[in-house]
């Protein structure tokens, strides 16, 4: 255990988070979905989308930005093309329901385009790809975010114009095998990672941030405090910057959930609104249905057979690093920094858990 952190077992952490959500008014099923989703993000090593989100979620339920025990509804039905409203419910509930609609329709029609709008934070987008892949479906997901201030500059821009707009594509593995899960933010770095560096007073790597004049900086302080604010750069120069723009249009404008723009930005708000355009494809309905799975496995073996570069242990495919981290963290427990743990404990007290209950649930 490093100085300034606690180690918590994944199952205890899930019990603790579930108890916080239940005390806050979520029904047991919703509380369990939120807890499982966030703890899995920690297990996969994406702490920026793990249990550290809980204080903000509870602030948002109390402020009316996230509606407890809400459900998704189909508001426009064209068979294989549906628009689903998340009704500002917990993303962990409504995105799951929307993907279930998409899977059922894709089974019937071969494909389903799901325009999901108006959700509270839907967390790791890979979770929704994995849900589709568990049902044997290929899926691709474009996501945008609004409800709070802009964070990420467009390619060449000195001012932020959108946020970390994630993209995901998931390919189901063979029966009993592993899925390919490509799932990333289109920004160089997640905002949570900038916050950690800022809290530790550490400089960040070059090439991630710009200051308010558009000049490169390694100072995470340009994203925090009272400003003037800089921005996070998009990944991959004009290519990542272009994908971020596409995500905002497909997920925001096309679904009716709206893009990140002066119409939807709420300065000084902790709200999080996610919209997502998902395309769910049944591989059994395409011409390669007989060969595609074997061909995919052969291709992956070919890709992984590349001799690693000096200093690289092995060539991995998307999804593998997360599974390796999950194996480690299931064994060793999840390390949570003191700042996050204190915030989580304060939130637990706010919803009425006693210190004795916190200790009994978390084991910390
Ligand atoms: P990241 O930069 O860690 O990239 C993760 C992806 O790259 C995964 O698919 C992973 O398997 C793959 N990968 C990483 N190392 C690899 C290697 N050595 N070889 C092969 N593949 C490798 O992810 P990120 O951009 O920090 O995003 C983290 C999470 O945050 C994602 O789950 C994303 O969906 C989520 N997110 C959500 C929102 C939201 O609004 N809900 C916004 C931004 C990000």
Q: Is residue 271 part of a domain?
A: yes
Read off the pTM. Answer: 0.97
Task: Please spell the DSSP secondary structure of 59-82, one letter per residue.
Answer: HHHHTTSSBTT---EEEEEETTEE
Residue to substitute in 98, 185, 195, 277 for testing ligand 1 pocket (most ligand atoms within 8 angstroms of CB): 185
Dihedral angle computed from the Cα positions of residues 262, 69, 18 and 62, in that order, rounded to the nearest 10 degrees: 50
Centre of ligand 1 from the C-alpha of residue 360, in Å: 33
Centre of ligand 1 from the C-alpha of residue 50, in Å: 13
Centre of ligand 1 from the C-alpha of residue 300, in Å: 19
**Closest Cα to atom 18, ligand 1: which residue?**
316
Tokens of 69: 């025990």
CATH code for the domain of 90: 3.30.1370.60
Centre of ligand 1 from the C-alpha of residue 141, in Å: 13
Centre of ligand 1 from the C-alpha of residue 356, in Å: 36
Q: Any idea what DSSP says for residue 152?
A: B
Q: Is residue 13 part of a domain?
A: yes
**Which atom of ligand 1 lies at the shortest distance from residue 272's CA?**
40
pLDDT attached to residue 192: 80
pLDDT attached to residue 2: 65
Give the pLDDT of the chain (364 residues) as one tens digit per residue: 666 899 999 999 999 999 999 999 999 999 999 999 999 999 999 998 999 999 999 999 999 999 999 999 999 999 999 999 999 999 999 999 999 999 999 999 999 999 999 999 999 999 999 999 999 999 999 999 999 999 999 999 999 999 999 999 999 999 889 999 999 999 999 888 898 788 778 999 999 999 999 999 999 999 987 889 999 999 999 999 999 999 999 999 999 999 999 999 987 889 999 999 999 999 999 999 899 999 999 999 999 999 999 999 999 999 999 999 999 999 999 999 998 999 999 999 999 999 999 999 999 9
**Closest Cα to atom 13, ligand 1: which residue?**
318
Residues sharing a CB contact under 8 Å with residue 132, sequence separation 6 or more, in sequence order: 99, 102, 103, 138, 139, 170, 172, 278, 280
Distance of CA 54 to the CA centre of its chain: 14
pLDDT attached to residue 160: 97
Residue to substitute in 318, 319, 320 for testing ligand 1 pocket (most ligand atoms within 8 angstroms of CB): 318
Parent domain of 259: 5-201+234-298+317-362
Residues sharing a CB contact under 8 Å with residue 177, sequence separation 6 or more, in sequence order: 297
**Which atom of ligand 1 lies at the shortest distance from residue 41's CA?**
32
Dihedral angle computed from the Cα positions of residues 57, 59, 60 and 66, in that order, rounded to the nearest 10 degrees: 60
Centre of ligand 1 from the C-alpha of residue 36, in Å: 18
Q: Is residue 162 part of a domain?
A: yes
Q: Is residue 191 part of a domain?
A: yes
pLDDT attached to residue 116: 99
Q: Is residue 148 part of a domain?
A: yes
Tokens of 314: 């092995």
Q: Is residue 312 part of a domain?
A: no
Centre of ligand 1 from the C-alpha of residue 189, in Å: 9
pLDDT attached to residue 308: 98
Neighbour tally for 355: CB within 10 Å:
10
The dihedral region occupied by 213, where left means phi > 0, alpha psi between -120 and 50, and beta the remainder, is alpha
Centre of ligand 1 from the C-alpha of residue 295, in Å: 25
**Closest Cα to atom 35, ligand 1: which residue?**
124
Residue to substitute in 122, 146, 190 for testing ligand 1 pocket (most ligand atoms within 8 angstroms of CB): 190
Closest CA to 85 of 71, 67, 99: 71
**Closest Cα to atom 26, ligand 1: which residue?**
190
pLDDT attached to residue 186: 98
pLDDT attached to residue 8: 98
Q: Is residue 211 part of a domain?
A: no
Any residues with Cβ below 6 Å from ligand 1, and which? 46, 49, 121-126, 143, 145, 164, 166, 181-185, 190, 274, 316-319, 321-322
Number of domains in the chain: 1
Q: Is residue 213 part of a domain?
A: no
> H/E element holding 203?
none
């Amino acid at each position: 255990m490093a100085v300034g952190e606690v180690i918590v077992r994944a199952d205890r952490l899930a019990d603790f988070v579930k108890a916080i959500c239940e005390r806050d008014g979520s029904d047991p099923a919703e509380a369990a979905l939120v807890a499982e989703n966030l703890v899995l993000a920690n297990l996969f090593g994406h702490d920026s989308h793990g249990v550290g989100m809980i204080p903000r979620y509870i602030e948002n339920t109390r402020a009316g930005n996230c509606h407890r025990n809400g459900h998704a509804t189909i508001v426009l039905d064209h068979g294989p093309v549906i628009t689903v409203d998340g009704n500002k419910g917990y993303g962990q509930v409504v995105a799951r329901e929307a993907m279930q609609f998409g899977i059922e329709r894709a089974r019937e029609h071969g494909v389903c385009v799901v325009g999901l709008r108006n959700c509270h934070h839907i967390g790791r987008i890979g979770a929704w790809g994995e849900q589709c892949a568990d049902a044997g479906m290929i899926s691709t997901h474009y996501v945008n975010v609004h409800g709070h201030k802009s964070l990420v500059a467009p390619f060449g821009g000195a001012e932020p114009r959108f946020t970390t707009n994630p993209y995901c594509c998931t390919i189901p593995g063979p029966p009993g095998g592993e899925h390919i899960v490509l799932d990333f933010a289109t920004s160089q770095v997640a905002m949570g990672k900038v916050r950690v560096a800022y809290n530790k007073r550490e400089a960040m790597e070059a090439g991630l941030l710009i200051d308010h004049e558009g000049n490169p900086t390694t100072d995470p302080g340009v994203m925090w405090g009272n400003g003037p604010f800089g921005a996070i750069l998009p990944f991959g120069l004009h290519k990542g910057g272009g994908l971020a723009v596409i995500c905002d249009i497909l997920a925001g404008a096309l679904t009716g959930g709206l893009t990140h723009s002066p119409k939807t930005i709420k300065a000084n708000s902790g709200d999080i609104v996610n919209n997502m355009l998902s395309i769910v494809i049944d591989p059994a309905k395409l011409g390669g249905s007989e060969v595609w799975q074997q061909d995919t496995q052969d291709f992956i073996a070919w890709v992984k057979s590349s001799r690693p570069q000096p200093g690289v242990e092995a060539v991995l495919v998307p999804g593998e690093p997360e599974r390796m981290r999950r194996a480690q963290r299931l064994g060793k427990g999840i390390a949570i920094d003191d700042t996050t743990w204190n915030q989580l404990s304060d939130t637990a007290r706010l919803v009425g858990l006693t210190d004795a209950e916190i200790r009994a649930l978390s084991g910390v």
